[in-house]
Amino acid sequence: MSKFKIFLGPAGTPGFTRGGTLEGVGDVAAIGLNCMEVQFTHGVRMGTALAKKCGEVAKENNIHLSCHAPYYVNLCNPKKLNASMKRILLAADRISVMGGGVVTFHPGFYGKLETEEAFNRVKAACKEMVKQLTKGSLLGLETTGKHSQFGTLDEIVGICKSVRRCVPVIDFAHIYARAVGKIDYKKVLDAVKPLQLKHVHSHFSNIEYSAKGERRHLVLDSKPKFKPLAKEILRRRQNITIISESPILEQDSLRMKRCFERLGCRL
């Protein structure tokens, strides 16, 4: 049976990095991790020349790169639609130059829309973006943590079934928060099986939540528990990227790595 692949790494540069993304990629490799999510969350301020250098360093060190598009995105709001799509596509262009793949983004907010109308607007926007999408990149729609946000697991899978080059980004903490402290990892991973993904892209951390959903990400010392997820991944030999969104990014990525190793998986 062929070996499956698990990628573990931080959402951004390690806390000890002196410099920016370029130095961060090397630091991730130096501590024994194998992926990184480049953060464009407050805007895409990286030129193509630097993106190319980051990609070269990543390739030399076998680091798998993805990115997170700006937070200022709302595909459900016609007034913000064009600017939102431009931000996502610019991030997609940069990750393509780096040789990466997934550009993660939060699709938007329901506002006063019915859920079906919000779904149709996000779907239409994704279809339009795919026409302009840079070669090699994928639109990664993230499951969101607040009830006011578009992005339940069912909604995200539904978009990905309908629009090519769209993939789900499973944020396990967000799903847990949105369900007010409940998650079944088997059901979550089963939900994306119809998409026949060769590789699953995901986020993980512990999380604080309220009746409205997500409040803030936490370090790995509370819930949801990581070990049951690791066991489920190993049981089904799931190819997966797990990006740490913990406040101590790379430290908790290393904790996840040690968890897999204690379960007998050599990474």
Beta carbons of 22 and 51 less than 8 angstroms apart = no
C-alpha to C-alpha distance for 155 and 174, rounded to whole angstroms: 14
Cis peptide before 107 (omega within 30 of 0): no
CA contacts within 13 A on the Cβ side of 152:
12
pLDDT in tens, 38-87: 999 999 999 999 999 999 999 999 999 999 999 999 999 999 999 999 99
pLDDT in tens, 160-215: 999 999 999 999 999 999 999 999 999 999 999 999 999 999 999 999 999 999 99
Which candidate, 249, 265, 241, 263, places its Cα nearest to that of 6?
A: 241
C-alpha to C-alpha distance for 47 and 94, rounded to whole angstroms: 8
Q: Is the pLDDT of residue 121 over 60?
A: yes
Place of tokens 């840079």: 134
C-alpha to C-alpha distance for 29 and 63, rounded to whole angstroms: 7
| Amino acid 29: pLDDT | 97
CATH number of 6-262, picked from 3.40.1350.10, 3.40.50.460, 3.20.20.150, 3.40.50.2300: 3.20.20.150
- Please state the pTM of the whole predicted model: 0.97
* DSSP codes of every residue in 226-242: SHHHHHHHHHTT--EEE
CA angle 200–94–245, rounded 5-degree value: 45
Dihedral angle computed from the Cα positions of residues 142, 94, 161 and 119, in that order, rounded to the nearest 10 degrees: 60
pLDDT in tens, 214-244: 999 999 999 999 999 999 999 999 999 999 9
3-state secondary structure of 85: helix
Cβ count within 10 A of residue 60: 11
Q: How do 240-244 and 200-204 pair as beta strands?
A: parallel
3-state secondary structure of 247: coil
| Amino acid 1: pLDDT | 38
| Amino acid 3: pLDDT | 81
| Amino acid 267: pLDDT | 84
